[in-house]
Amino acid sequence: MSPPAASNWAAENDAIFYTLCLMSAFFTLLVVGFVIFFAIRYRAGTKADRSRPVYEDMRLEIGWTVIPLFLALIMFYFGAKLYVEEKSPPANAEDIFVVGKQWMWHMEHRNGVRENNILHIPVDKPVKLTMISQDVIHAFYVPAFRVQWMVIPGRYTSIWFTPTQVGEYHLFCNMYCGTQHSEMGGKVVVMSQPDYERWLANQGESAVAMTMEQAGARMFHHIGCDNCHGAVDTPRAPSLVGIYGSKQVYADGSAATVNDDILHLAIVRPYDKLVKGYDESMPAYQGQLSENDILDLIAYIKTMGTPAQPVVA
């Protein structure tokens, strides 16, 4: 029995899956049928005419090449279309951050609400999950939503979906990640939008009083980032004001637009990609900060210099 179809992706995924199953069954039966037919028709002792055997037939060659190719291209089109759509979240998606660790799922909402192994989300609203692993490779999998994506150490991955039914659904890790892999599960609670807004406003079952940006600002000052990164570039370090989304040139001659992955690397292993004109003076925080701390720091850095967050002096 298949799991319930509780997201916008479910129908399309199921259509592709069952079409592939039917096509596989059809061609399997077709081939097996011909094998049985020819085994009986030309078995030893039969009176079949073997005087003029046919070694090739261009019609057959074209038929069993073109028809499967045509069917494969159709399935490729629908699969690629679905893949692109699943990687293109809408602008109004609810942002939620996920950290996988042996052996639990840690979720953090934008306003600072944190959950372990339970994810509360609103129905009929797009939800975008930005995910990273604290240790080994995991896979975030909700069968009812037909969504699964790898959660990888040192790199952000993301998926999005729109829940379509209120209820509770199983959450699994679908990548073997150690001795307690089978226990790394939880549930996704889909709520009506008014109930979700009330839950979020009341901070769920959490007593966290800070948003991610506020927690990141506290961490920024606590570990002394503001000792070097000020309102303007200095010989010691570049300014982080407005850096998110800007184009940076690096010591190796490459250039890139600053995104979450680049900021993550700059925090944990800054020497892997040094900004041009600066030396290896920044400490590396790999192993010293949790992925939750890094997510908060990045959330704060994104706001630096905006009206909501004054420029660091």
Task: List pLDDT tens digits, range 95-122.
Answer: 999 999 998 999 988 888 888 899 999 9
The pLDDT of residue 50 is above 80: no
Q: Which residue has the higher pLDDT, 63 or 110?
A: 63
| Structure confidence at residue 130 as a pLDDT band (50, 70, 90) | very high
Using CB atoms within 10 Å of the CB of residue 66, give its burial: 0 to 12 exposed, 13 to 18 middle, 19+ buried: exposed
| Bridge partner residues of 283 (DSSP) | none
What sign results for the dihedral spanned by CA atoms 36, 41, 46, 49? negative
Summarize pLDDT for 66-96 with one digit per residue, the tens.
999 999 999 999 999 999 998 889 989 999 9
DSSP state of 201: H
Residues 207-223 as b or e (16 or more Cβ within 10 Å = b) = ebeebbbbbbbebbeeb
pTM score, whole prediction: 0.76
φ, ψ (nearest 5 deg) of residue 76: -65, -45
pLDDT of the residue at 313: 41
Q: Where are the alpha helices (DSSP H) in the chain?
A: 10-41, 58-86, 193-201, 212-222, 260-268, 291-303
The pLDDT of residue 16 is above 90: yes
Summarize pLDDT for 134-153 with one digit per residue, the tens.
899 999 999 999 999 999 99
The pLDDT of residue 312 is above 70: no
| Structure confidence at residue 311 as a pLDDT band (50, 70, 90) | very low
CA separation for the pair 93, 8 (Å, rounded): 13
Q: Decide: helix, strand or coil at residue 187.
A: strand
The pLDDT of residue 19 is above 50: yes
Six token digits for residue 291:
């992925």
Q: Where are the alpha helices (DSSP H) in 87-138?
A: none
φ, ψ (nearest 5 deg) of residue 111: -85, 10
- How confident is the model over 122-131, as a mean pLDDT? 94
CA separation for the pair 51, 173 (Å, rounded): 62
Six token digits for residue 59:
């019609």
pLDDT of the residue at 57: 84
Q: What percent of the chain has pLDDT over 70?
A: 95
| Structure confidence at residue 204 as a pLDDT band (50, 70, 90) | low
Letter for the amino acid at 192?
S
| Structure confidence at residue 233 as a pLDDT band (50, 70, 90) | confident
Q: What is the average pLDDT score of the chain?
A: 87
φ, ψ (nearest 5 deg) of residue 143: -55, -40
CA separation for the pair 85, 16 (Å, rounded): 15
pLDDT of the residue at 310: 46
| Structure confidence at residue 13 as a pLDDT band (50, 70, 90) | very high
Q: Decide: helix, strand or coil at residue 142.
A: strand
| Bridge partner residues of 250 (DSSP) | 275
- The answer to whether the peptide bond before residue 64 is cis (omega within 30 degrees of 0) is no
